[in-house]
Chain A
Amino acid sequence: MSENFETADRADWMGVLARADAASLKRKMAALGPAPERRWLRRPEIGAVMTRGRAGGTGQAFSLGEMTVTRCALRLESREDVIGHAYVQGRDVEKAEQAAVADAMLQIDSTRAAVLAEVVEPLRQEENARRLAARRKAGATKVDFFTMVRAEG
């Protein structure tokens, strides 16, 4: 079996789904049509993962803090060889389920285009808008520090 996508593509859409607004994701998946039949491989579990970072992107790795994630895995009854995984932010079990269904459908050539156009891309735009708004808000309060040179004399 070879489906027509790269691992990097999958990482990208899984990231968009993971960060998406839960209500928006559920609406878009519902608009896509009736939910495909599925079977749980791993029911949604809520847990914490330690996020790690490097100061300036180059320094020593340090633990930034724990974040709550919900994960699950399922397979579609129509394509038993495809496994949809989701690791999403927060403790919304239904969001994880919808993200896993989306991941499974995105791995199948015949359903990928629709899910990309109807779900992933709109969610990406919403995410970008959210980021821009946050940046604007922060930008409006920006203070430039400068030092006046004391006149010698």
Chain B
Amino acid sequence: MTQASAPLAAGFATPVIDSQSSFRALMRALSFPGRVAEIPSPPEAPTDWPPGLAAAALTLLDAEAPVWIDEAARTPGAEAFLRFHAGAPIVAEPEDARFAIVAAPQSAPFGALAIGTDQYPDRSATALIALPSLEGGQPMRLSGPGIQTTADVAPGGALAPFWAAWTLNNGLYPLGFDVFMFAGAQVLGLPRGVRAEAAAGE
């Protein structure tokens, strides 16, 4: 009889209410890119995961949502957490995933994520990225749908390769992948239509 070496994280205290309020926060983050939303009642999360990321995983993933996890996010108990609470199949190749959980954005294969097809642009992937902080990093100026003029954000972490991949992703519109960034219980949404430029004139 073998057991996971790390204790299984408990998940939402009240699954129905908590996943609804998390969904609301995620939707708010996606509809106002650049505005940080707070997940009101995040669950107990696997080792080293921001609680917001765990909340999003429990809210968005189910048995029909194959998920790919990068090496850094495969912390002890993480896979068991997704299998037990979400029932989501964990796939080996990022191409096959509808969700990608990324803890090391500097080496994540953003170019390999599903971008949908011309007939079905919704058959694309959503990347959930764990960051140390949503401020204090390289300042970026966002513009596009959902932003009246521009919005400045500066998520922390090694995001230079991500922003390069993001520019390529913009060029694919209406195809492309969408992104949520998490730190603690906070979430920042980046829908595929939003453009990001380095905010140099600070």
Contact = CB atoms under 8 A, between A and B. Distances in A.
Contacts of A42: 11, 84-85
Q: Size class of A's contact patch?
A: 10 to 19
A75 B6 CA distance: 12
B62 to A, nearest CB: 15
B7 A75 contact: yes
A3 B4 contact: no
A7 B11 contact: no
Nearest to B11: A41
A86 to B, nearest CB: 15
Interface string B131-166: 000000000000000000000000000000000000
A6 B2 CA distance: 11
Which secondary structure dominates chain B's binding surface?
loop
B103 interface: no
Contacts of B27: none
Contacts of A5: 1
Contact of B8 (A1, A6, A7, A41): A41
Interface residues of B, number: 15
B5 interface: yes
A43 B1 contact: no
Contact of B84 (A39, A40, A41): A41
B121 interface: no
Interface stretch (A15-23, A76-84, A125-133): A76-84
A107 B7 contact: no
B57 to A, nearest CB: 15
Interface in A35-78: 39-43, 73, 75
A107 B8 contact: no
A6 B1 CA distance: 7
Contacts of A110: none
A147 interface: no
Contacts of A81: 3-7
Given A7-B1, A41-B84, A83 B15 contact: no
A2 interface: yes
Interface of B: 1-8, 10-11, 13-15, 84-85
Enumerate the 7 nearest inter-chain pairs by beta-carbon distance, A residue then B residue, closest first: A80-B7, A81-B3, A41-B10, A39-B10, A81-B7, A3-B1, A41-B8
Given A3-B1, A81-B4, A83-B8, 6 more contacts: A41-B8, A41-B85, A43-B14, A43-B15, A81-B6, A83-B3
